[in-house]
Amino acid sequence: MKHIYLNLKRFDIPVLLGGVNSIAQMKDWGSFIIKNTQDTLKMYSKEEVEFAMFFPELHLLKALEARSEDSPIEIGCQGVFWEDVEPGGNFGAFTTDRPAAAMKAAGCEVVLIGHCEERNHINGILNRAGCGNTKAASRILNEEIKTAVKRGLKVLYCIGEKSEEQEQWQETLGEQLEIGLKDVDRSEVIIAYEPVWSIGPGKIPADKEYITKIAGFIKKQTHGMEVVYGGGLKKENAAMLSSIPEIDGGLIALTRFGGEIGFYPEEYLEIISLYLG
């Protein structure tokens, strides 16, 4: 099966406020995306491809309401707290945090954990606290994964190496896999590989040979877990990625990187068509 994920990050912020959203008003943004993609996605077999979209929390309910009864889209959140609500325990005293129980109650089916931006956030806090242990972030993410799976959420777990880690990529990725997946029900987890060193303006994208090598390593280390490309599935690399047997799908974010930068539903559908054929 192929897996197509969409991480909408904070693409809801209007252009006038410094964001990239020019497609819909804030209150309609989540529903606009669902309504303008789900009918076309119905042409693909649910047995052959899975579609999931990770929305900012503000838009989850509107996105869920916009889904038709036979919609192929799964709605996901962009993270969960490592602790959760428990009967007879913490009943929800989680100011600013996102308990998995709340996301499940809202209707989410899947969650994004360990994205490079989340790792940067966790490591930033740890560094400010004087903790230089590179394994600490993966331990926190491991708790998040276990909490999500226990609550009945599927997980897309991201791993990746930075420029300064590239020479030791095997150790870096191996550590993120070993610690992040410790005592986890792996049947509920898919791995997303992010070559962090190659993501962003002016950087050279990872090529087919490199991605194939890494995907093969991940599958070997995890005894065959499914791997999607998390470095950005887009028009320019869709055909290349679809030709790699070790890659089981991709993670889309922005669809337009020049001019009126942003996410556009019609371009998202075009990327999928290019990748799936």
Q: What's the pLDDT score for residue 260?
A: 95
Q: What is the CA radius of gyration of the chain?
A: 18
Give 128-155 pLDDT, tens digit per residue: 999 878 799 999 999 999 999 999 999 9
Neighbour tally for 222: CB within 10 Å: 16
CATH number of the domain within which 184 lies: 3.20.20.70
Q: What's the pLDDT score for residue 61?
A: 98
Instruction: List per-residue pLDDT tens for the chain, 277 residues long.
Output: 999 999 999 999 999 999 999 999 999 999 999 999 999 999 999 999 999 999 999 999 999 999 999 999 999 999 999 999 999 999 999 999 999 999 999 999 999 999 999 999 999 999 999 987 879 999 999 999 999 999 999 999 999 999 999 999 999 999 999 999 999 999 999 999 999 999 987 889 999 999 999 999 999 999 999 999 999 999 999 999 999 999 999 999 999 999 999 999 999 999 999 999 8
Q: How many domains in the chain?
A: 1
Q: What's the pLDDT score for residue 277?
A: 87
Domain with 162, as residue range(s), is 2-276
Catalytic positions, written as ranges:
115, 194
CA distances from 103 to 78, 81, 154, 156, 254 (A): 10, 10, 12, 15, 24
